[in-house]
Amino acid sequence: MKKVYFDSAATTKIREDVITKMTDVMSEYYGNPSSSHSFGRSSKTLVETARKTIAKQLKVSSSEIVFTSGGTEADNLVLISAVKDLGVKRIITSKIEHHAVLHTVDYLVNNFDVSVNYVALDKHGAVNYSDLQQLLNASEEKSIVSLMHVNNEIGSLLDLKRVAELCKTTNTLFHSDTVQSIGHYELDLQDIPVDFIASSAHKFHGPKGVGFAFIRKHSGLHAMIHGGEQERGLRAGTESVHNIVGLETAFKLAYQNLEMERNAVTDLKAYFVTELKNTFPEASFNGDSSNLERSAYTMLNVCFPFEANKTQLLLFQLDLKGIACSRGSACQSGSQKGSHVLAEILSDENFKKPSIRFSFSHYNTKEDVDYVIEILKAFAAQ
């Protein structure tokens, strides 16, 4: 049976070069990076070299890169410390953020003296910048804005620089979950005055369990995980050297191959959109996900014109045929509530229809698309 992996927004296939590099590190560099002997110093050098690699690409200081277990920890670190340590009293976010942000905001609202405002969205799930400006001007309380760069379900793109500059005019902190964009988009953080970002290696063909936070120097953030003085006191715990080197290797390869791989994936997405429109004229594309300029090139979210009673069967049928995709974020796969993102932007009628997120990488081919279309046609004919 043919196997097709169209779920790269959930996690990506690890590059072979990354696996090789990580294996070498595990074999040869097993010293604790905090140890003062040569074994420890060798491991420490690998960690600091990785930090410098990331910082150079983002055009920031290496001291502003903090390694974490992934995007969720980075989001938690920033938001919790902003409230507990920086005196933030108000959070401005949207209702279609990743749950790593939304659930952290709920925790803070329920346990601390902090309020939340949700910025208005248009029918495609894009931020209303005029409403954001009004929210920023509505209060003099110390605030933080938390808005993701690329939505993980519908691919909506945020104008990071525009939001960062709006925040600066009101002395508001700005945090962005860039988990779906790091490794896929070039970010110049010298030009974009964002205060904090979060990233996760497994979204750009690196290992799971490692990521980083960018924390603008002199931010005043404090550690969330306490213990040793690793990561300049911002994240205690022995660094996972092989994972950090895996992150670095995947990060370097992502940007070295960015133009070629982005063009290939963009062409694949355009082909998929055309084939879907030809095969299912009544299908619609959630958000702006079919628009190659206003959505991420890495994903497509489709609402199929099938009866509501086929909603649960569609993913099951695709899985039986060897096709991996998603009805929403992998983080909510155990939930029966459906996508909170689609619930926010779809009509009740369309929300009941089956919506599928297909997400791509350079490992995918047009033959993969043709196979999926074939299976979808067979399902529709049942």
Residue 220: alpha-carbon gap to chain centroid: 25
According to the model, what pLDDT value does residue 352 have? Answer: 87
Lowest mean pLDDT among 166-175, 195-204, 242-251, 334-343: 334-343
Q: Which of 167, 303, 325, 331 is catalytic?
A: 331
- Name the pTM for this structure: 0.95
Do 203 and 339 sit in the same domain of this protein?
no
Residue that is last in its domain, among 256, 272, 291: 256
Domain count for the chain: 2
Do 36 and 8 sit in the same domain of this protein?
no
Task: Between 286 and 306, name the one with better pLDDT.
Answer: 286
Mean pLDDT to the nearest integer, 187-207: 98
List all residues 6 or more positions away from 85 whose beta carbon is below 8 Å from its beta carbon.
220, 221, 222
Mean pLDDT to the nearest integer, 27-42: 98
Do 288 and 367 sit in the same domain of this protein?
yes
Do 64 and 124 sit in the same domain of this protein?
yes
Do 8 and 58 sit in the same domain of this protein?
no
Among 217, 236, 185, CA closest to 64: 217
Do 54 and 164 sit in the same domain of this protein?
yes
List all residues 6 or more positions away from 162 whose beta carbon is below 8 Å from its beta carbon.
129
Do 168 and 64 sit in the same domain of this protein?
yes
* Confidence category of residue 4, pLDDT binned at 50, 70, 90: very high
Report the CATH number that the domain containing residue 273 is assigned in CATH: 3.90.1150.10
Do 250 and 279 sit in the same domain of this protein?
no
According to the model, what pLDDT value does residue 308 have? Answer: 73
User: What's the CA gap between 143 and 343, in Å, rounded?
Assistant: 27
Do 91 and 229 sit in the same domain of this protein?
yes
Residue that is last in its domain, among 211, 228, 256: 256
According to the model, what pLDDT value does residue 334 have? Answer: 46
* Average pLDDT for the chain: 95
Do 70 and 216 sit in the same domain of this protein?
yes
The tens digit of pLDDT for each residue in 305-354 reads 988 777 778 999 999 999 999 986 555 444 456 899 999 999 988 998 89
Do 275 and 180 sit in the same domain of this protein?
no
According to the model, what pLDDT value does residue 338 have? Answer: 82
Residue that is last in its domain, among 228, 256, 284: 256
Do 282 and 237 sit in the same domain of this protein?
no
According to the model, what pLDDT value does residue 53 have? Answer: 98
Active site residue 331: yes
Structural domain containing residue 298: 4-12+258-381
Mean pLDDT to the nearest integer, 33-37: 97
